[in-house]
Amino acid sequence: MQKGKVLIIDDNKGIQDALELLLLPVCTSVVSIPGPKRLIPMLETGEFDLVLLDMNFSAGVNTGNEGIYWLKRIREINPDIPVILITAYGDVELAVKALKEGATDFILKPWDNQKLIATVQAGFQLRWSRLEVRLLKQKEGYLKKELNKENIPILGNSVAIQQMQSLIGKVAKTDANVLITGENGTGKELVAREIHRLSGRSQEILVTVDMGAISDTLFESELFGHVKGAFTDAREDRAGKMEAANGGTLFLDEIGNLGLPLQAKLLAALQNREITRLGSNKAIGIDFRLISATNRDLTAMITEGQFREDLLYRLNTIHIEVPPLRERGTDVLLLAEHFIRKFASRYDKPNLHINQQANEKLQHYSWPGNIRELQHTIEKAVILSEGPVLKPDLFFFKPLGAAKVLKDMTLEEMEKNLIAGVLQKAGGNLSLAAQHLGVTRQTLYNKIKKYGL
């Protein structure tokens, strides 16, 4: 039987002592207060699993109205906490009124010890059930998002892709942590989804977290969850992404964007296999498969003091490098055909096909934006097409004539210049610029802040 923390509100010290003595063996802890004045602060600062509430506190009053009033206040603060009302003055009408207001049960003084213990244990079970239902509803929300996402297969016949597919097949059967690296747009999230699909956890949820889109202030709330009142907008208890991923897979995308203080908190959670919700002191065990991804060189970041070496070891049990599109040979044409079929169906343009000259143009381009750039290029060509044949002039891109300049630039310098150029073309419109870059608005904002643009 799972134990919980009980709060007793009764103005009789003898009753408090008797209840504590009786309940301590079946509870994790029992806290007593003599009246309701401290009730609200206690509930807001302490995490209780059940409340035993006396119904009368004023001398000479035995109507039970005080208990009903405080029952309503408790329900306003946290409707998930079971409340058992206890009084020396009880009748059927009062009991019915209390139950209608949300009381879990109603016990008369003097009580039967075994019955009271059974009632408290039933209250704990109700508490766990309510919390489980809340977590299941949250998981349902994640599942709906996953179901609404397009299931894109990993396509390709190149040696690089076949080797990667072979490694995915071996790794997926284990619970080993996986770090996926590769340039922007290569399909790192597809690799994470494929690992989850082939794993023993495939029937459970895959929870994706864009680490580049989470601000420092929201990190703990997003990953670890929070309890009601933990901060200004915390209006109810909420499970974090780690708790929601229990039994399934947690995918941390853009892990290289995480700051050092937050890296320490993430590492502690992964090492201890438990988290504590923001505003709570109750540890919650976590069990999930961890997959991370980044387009950054974490080894170089360690040298520069920007990434924790011990965290990299924790993430990098198995490393999968996703090859850039320019190294995948004729996979470009295979992927182009896939996107042509997809967008021809979406825009109601049947029987579209690409001619030889356009094929050659696609294959000779270096694709710095990788598969994401190819997808956008094909979509634009399909939209602009006026006949069944997609010709070279429908594909708008420029081969990189500035190769010499780029060769002397770091990856971060190239990224900064790219973002600056897109922002200029978008007239400073962040939403439009983010759409062109294929990132979220928050990620773009973080990049702008990072590069001082």
Task: Give dist(CA 213, CA 233) in Å, integer.
Answer: 19
Write down the pLDDT at residue 401: 45
- Whether residue 418 is predicted with pLDDT greater than 70 in this model: the reply is yes
Average pLDDT of span 214-228:
86
The answer to whether 149-321 and 402-453 have equal CATH topology is: no
Q: Is residue 48 within 8 Å of 40, Cβ to Cβ?
A: no
- Whether residue 200 is predicted with pLDDT greater than 90 in this model: the reply is yes
Which tokens hold the place of 407? 């060769």
Residues across the chain: 453
Share of residues in the chain with pLDDT > 70 (%) = 91
Find residue 228's DSSP bridge partners: none
Write down the pLDDT at residue 404: 43
- Whether residue 188 is predicted with pLDDT greater than 50 in this model: the reply is yes
pLDDT digits (tens, 9 = 90+) for 345-401: 999 998 899 999 999 999 989 999 999 999 999 999 999 998 899 999 999 875 444
Q: Is residue 201 within 8 Å of 289, Cβ to Cβ?
A: yes
pLDDT bracket for residue 134 (50, 70, 90): confident
Share of residues in the chain with pLDDT > 90 (%) = 47
Q: Is 149-321 a CATH 3.20.20.140 domain?
A: no
Write down the pLDDT at residue 66: 82
- Whether residue 166 is predicted with pLDDT greater than 50 in this model: the reply is yes
DSSP labels, 75-101: HHH-TTS-EEEEESS--HHHHHHHHHT
Write down the pLDDT at residue 55: 82
pTM: 0.66
At residue 334, the 3 state secondary structure works out as: helix
Average pLDDT, the chain: 86
- Whether residue 151 is predicted with pLDDT greater than 70 in this model: the reply is no
Lowest mean pLDDT among 69-73, 207-211, 244-248, 397-401: 397-401
Write down the pLDDT at residue 402: 44
Which tokens hold the place of 291? 């997959």
Average pLDDT of span 133-154:
68
- Whether residue 210 is predicted with pLDDT greater than 80 in this model: the reply is yes
Q: Which residue has the higher pLDDT, 144 or 302?
A: 302
Write down the pLDDT at residue 397: 74
Q: Look up residue 155 and give its amino acid.
A: L
Q: What is the dihedral of CA 424, 427, 428, 431, to 10 degrees?
A: -110
Write down the pLDDT at residue 91: 64
Biggest CA–CA distance in the chain, Å, is 96
Return the half-sphere exposure (C-beta side, CA atoms, 13 A cut-off) of residue 241.
Answer: 21
Q: Is residue 331 within 8 Å of 156, Cβ to Cβ?
A: yes
Q: Look up residue 269 and give its amino acid.
A: A
Residue 117 CB contacts under 8 Å (≥ 6 apart), including other chains: 22, 23, 26
Which tokens hold the place of 104? 């879990």
pLDDT bracket for residue 318 (50, 70, 90): very high
Q: Is residue 61 within 8 Å of 88, Cβ to Cβ?
A: no
Write down the pLDDT at residue 46: 66
Beta strand extents in 127-263 (DSSP E only)? 178-181, 206-210, 225-226, 238-239, 249-253
Q: Is residue 334 within 8 Å of 340, Cβ to Cβ?
A: no
Write down the pLDDT at residue 90: 62
Write down the pLDDT at residue 405: 45
- Whether residue 143 is predicted with pLDDT greater than 70 in this model: the reply is no
Average pLDDT of span 118-122:
91
Lowest mean pLDDT among 22-31, 89-98, 257-266, 281-290: 89-98
Residue 375 CB contacts under 8 Å (≥ 6 apart), including other chains: 339
Spans of all domains in the chain: 5-129, 149-321, 402-453
Write down the pLDDT at residue 87: 77
Q: Do strands 238-239 and 225-226 pair parallel, antiparallel, or not at all (unpaired)?
A: antiparallel
What own/partner pairs with CB < 8 Å and gap ≥ 24 does 108-115 have?
109/15, 111/86, 113/22
Q: Is 5-129 a CATH 3.30.1490.20 domain?
A: no
Task: Give dist(CA 446, CA 256) in Å, integer.
Answer: 13
In CATH, what is the architecture of 402-453?
Answer: Orthogonal Bundle (1.10)
pLDDT digits (tens, 9 = 90+) for 224-278: 988 877 777 777 778 889 998 989 999 999 999 998 999 999 999 999 999 998 8
Task: Give dist(CA 214, CA 31) in Å, integer.
Answer: 37
Write down the pLDDT at residue 268: 94
Average pLDDT of span 328-333:
94
